[in-house]
Structure 1
Amino acid sequence: MNGGLIMKEVTNSDPFTIVGTEQYNMVSKMNREYRIFVSKPSEKPPASGYPVIYLLDGNSIFGTVVEAIRIQSKRPEKTGIVPAIVVGIGYPTEAPFSPHRFYDYTMAQTDQEMPFKPDGKPWPKQGGASEFLSFIEEELKPKIHQTLKVDSNKQTIFGHSLGGLFVLYTLFTSPRSFQSYIAGSPSLHWNERNILAKERSFMARLEREAIHAKLLIGIGELEKEHKSNIGELAKKMSERLSFYKNRGLNVKFIQFEDECHTSVLPPLINKSLRFSLHSQVDQ
């Protein structure tokens, strides 16, 4: 007895699933295996198709993003968020992160060797960013477009930490692949010399031609205490890139109060949805 109520024992249970989602494994032309998570809105697609958000580290944040959109898109006139397809790019593991991300999200270390990990072991293999971007553009996107009605003019890529580094790599090397780029706590220190070289090439391109793209860089306030100086590096990059607004690049930098490198994810996701799914940049 508990407060006069009889508690009945649960005899069986079913796995919990998020409505409107599916997952499948996909092997790339380079023989790398990914787990793809897809969420399709229940609402009828607009004539132009649904917006789409591609998430890196899909194992860790797919559910959070899907539920945030599902709740907030019910009242788009209030929230500014419309229904959208969510595509999480993850790995065949039940863990939130896979060591394979070190290869997919990074450029080759050409100028220096990374220090050993705290446990004394070397880091996983790195340098596959170009291959990974080709997989997204040439294999994954066509599959998504074949099965779902996508608005090709409203595509977003979201990445955090090493994923944020890859988002910036994508913007600098393929700025027309997406219209919105979300780089959360980008690990610029990881490939600093290489990513800065890509940034300079991108700036030179902007001098020659205008593009239409939005970039949100978000960090946690507490990241200023990180030994990598990750917060300051991200802030300075956003300041440099903000100079090119007249060339079609709309840059926003946000520092989230009292958040660290990992806790910044939920508030960053909410801000990212308003940034990418609203017809106007949320100022």
Structure 2
Amino acid sequence: MNVKLHGEGLAGAGGTRWFDLEDRASGAVRRVFLWVPAGEAPATGWPALWLLDGNAVIGTAVDVMRSQAMWPTGTNLGWGALVAVGYPTEDAYDPFRRSWDLGPPPGASYPPFWPDTPEVRTGGGAEMARFLLEDAREFLAGHVRLDLDEQALFGHSFGGLFALWLLFTQPLAFRHWIAASPAITWEESFLLKHLDGFVVPNPAPRVHLSAGEWEGMQLAPFQTRGAEVEARLAEKGRIRTVAAMEEMAVALKAKGVVTACEIYADETHMSVLPVAVNRALHWAFDLDKE
């Protein structure tokens, strides 16, 4: 059964293409962005970095690749294909749909984002995972030759939660994993139960964890004034982004996983995104990997 294509086009500079693909199981339509280096692919196919929240990150990822991979002696970055998965919208995000897609099961229901809109649901991560690993890969095989042994997955925030959940439940789905500002404590830290049962495959996966400096227990300087200070501090105490990420790094290293952990100076949960995308390309495509 072929994947149904609802539309295709070009996305901005750099020759990025997009395809609106129908999920064969649910019927949901997601936009898959594809950028491929010029020239002939390696004999084994292109290594590839898959990025969640595709609408928000594909432009940054393409610019990083185009500006750095042409100078490998100065950047260490090699060429690779970029695949970003998002939605048929001109906005950076579709908050309602990403909550479902990137929220691992079992999920829960939450109040609407805006008045007169449906309640927000999480828990559709298994549906999203099947789409990525089956539908999207099958469709892209007709457009680019990928090296299935050199695939990487990047996710930020909810996407970082999804990436870690997929690592723990399907560790051979990708070789390299990048989770930026992962929402590890989301829904009572259920992710830690998956960590407990995680069996590290051979070869061991490579995992990069990161967060912004101002995702710790201190507010960014510009956030220290105004009526929201106490609420922001209380939220930090609940979410524990930096502490939970550092604890995850320790746990993964103890299991034998190749793990890196970084804090990006002077960045918040949202401003960290372009920095994290740059690091994701290097984790996936560096010519000299440590």
Specify the TM-score bucket, using the shorter chain as the normaliser: 0.7 to 0.9
Counting aligned pairs with the same residue, the percent is 28
Q: 92, 98, 104: which one pairs with 1:101?
A: 98
The question of whether the paired residues in 1 share the 8 Å contact of 2:156 and 2:182 is answered with: yes
Query: For residues 17-166 of structure 1, what are the structure 2 equivalents within 5 Å?
Result: 17-29=12-24, 30-98=26-94, 99-109=96-106, 116=111, 124-166=120-162
The question of whether the paired residues in 2 share the 8 Å contact of 1:176 and 1:211 is answered with: no
Q: 214, 219, 228: which one pairs with 2:206?
A: 214
Alignment correspondent of 2:285: 277
Could you say what secondary structure the match of 1:262 adopts? coil
Q: Is structure 2 residue 227 aligned with structure 1 residue 231?
A: no
**Over alpha carbons, which structure has the higher Rg?**
1
Alignment correspondent of 1:7: none
The count of aligned residue pairs is 259
Deviates more, 1:226-235 or 1:86-95: 226-235
TM-score by length of 1: 0.85
Matches of 2:73 and 2:155 in 1, distance apart? 27
Superposed CA RMSD in Å reads: 2.2
- Gap runs ≥5 in structure 2: 1-9, 218-235
TM-score by length of 2: 0.83
Flag the 1:106–1:49 CA change in 2: closer, same or farther, 3 A: same
For residue 50 of structure 1, report the CA deviation from its aligned partner: 1.1
Alignment correspondent of 1:6: none
- Gap runs ≥5 in structure 1: 1-14
Deviates more, 1:116-125 or 1:82-91: 116-125
Greater relative CO (CA pairs within 8 A, separation 6+): 2
Could you say what secondary structure the match of 1:181 adopts? strand
Matches of 1:219 and 1:140 in 2, distance apart? 29
Matches of 1:139 and 1:197 in 2, distance apart? 28
